[in-house]
Amino acid sequence: MSTSVTLDQVNRIIGNQHHDPFEILGSHPIEIDGKSGWIVRVYWPNADAISVLCPEQRQKYPMHSVHNPHFFECEVPIAENLNYQLQIQEGDHEQVIYDPYAFKSPRVTDYDQHLFAQGDHHRIYEKLGAHLTTLDSVNGVYFAVWAPNARNVSILADFNAWDGRRHQMRKGSSGIWELFIPEIGVGEHYKYEIKNIEGHIYEKSDPYGFQQEVRPKTASIVTDLNAYTWSDNLWMEQRRMPIC
């Protein structure tokens, strides 16, 4: 079966060497027999089989491996905007998930990148870190971290078995790496896997994380500050009092 992706492109994804995995992974518009359609690509280490599910059309499209047993793609002959999920088979375990690389709109905008690069973004904590977010009516967590000299950055967490190959992030113009992961929420433990130019790997907690594990553990924890009950009312009142 023909493919639209090269061996070099696949190897860059497998080797965590791509600064923007969205260029390869996820859904991309193509022409199928003279009509508009999509090609979907997925890299999922240890997957035995993957299918694209289109709930609105009640259709299932089995994917085939390309250049690597765990890199998959398939054509989807749907003209309108593609709303899909992935059915992933790993041994006896099967799961249905939304594809993180289907959510292409960054939460860190070009204007955010511009202000941050100038050192003039006064609310960058609202963008960096882990934030509960809803994109395209799907709930999840949006991760963003500044690592301008990194070759690659990935998210390590309980939900991906601490495997840095599964959730590779995208680099913006100011060195901010970001990725939205659907269907996760409060309580997830995570770190960032950062590779430098030489390929050395460092696991880092989130400098903009709102909650951290208690030492000696070092993971960050996804939390919701809006639901947090503060207990510093007395201290805040005393801070307002004039100093004699």
Q: Are residues 171 and 212 in the same domain?
A: yes
In a domain, 104, yes or no: no
| Neighbouring residues of 124: CB distance < 8 A, sequence distance ≥ 6 | 112, 115, 116, 208
In a domain, 75, yes or no: yes
According to DSSP, residue 165 is labeled: T
Asked if the model's pLDDT at residue 1 lies above 80, the reply is no
Q: Are residues 84 and 120 in the same domain?
A: no
Convert the pLDDT of each residue in 140-176 to its tens digit: 999 999 999 999 999 999 999 999 999 999 998 889 9
- Give residue for tokens 């680099």: 171
Q: Are residues 116 and 89 in the same domain?
A: no
Q: Of 45, 74, 98, at which residue does a domain stop?
A: 98
In a domain, 92, yes or no: yes
**Which pTM value belongs to this model?**
0.89
SS3 (DSSP) at 102: helix
Convert the pLDDT of each residue in 124-144 to its tens digit: 999 999 999 999 999 999 999
Give start and end residues of each alpha helix (H) in 79-187. Answer: 110-118
**b/e 46-77 (16+ beta carbons within 10 angstroms → b):** ebeebbbebeeeeeebebebbeeebbbbbbbe
The boundaries of the domain holding residue 212 are 110-227
**b/e 180-200 (16+ beta carbons within 10 angstroms → b):** bbbebeeebbbbbbbbeeeee
Q: Are residues 114 and 194 in the same domain?
A: yes
C-beta separation of 22 from 85 below 8 A: no
CATH number of the domain enclosing 47: 2.60.40.10
Convert the pLDDT of each residue in 86-108 to its tens digit: 999 999 999 999 999 999 888 88
- Higher pLDDT: 233 or 189? It is 189
- pLDDT for the residue 244: 59
- pLDDT for the residue 189: 97
Q: Are residues 87 and 158 in the same domain?
A: no
Convert the pLDDT of each residue in 4-59 to its tens digit: 789 999 999 999 899 999 999 999 999 988 889 999 999 999 999 999 999 988 99
In a domain, 59, yes or no: yes
Q: Are residues 137 and 79 in the same domain?
A: no
Asked if the model's pLDDT at residue 241 lies above 90, the reply is no
Nearest partner of 109 among 144, 140, 134, 81, judged by Cα: 144
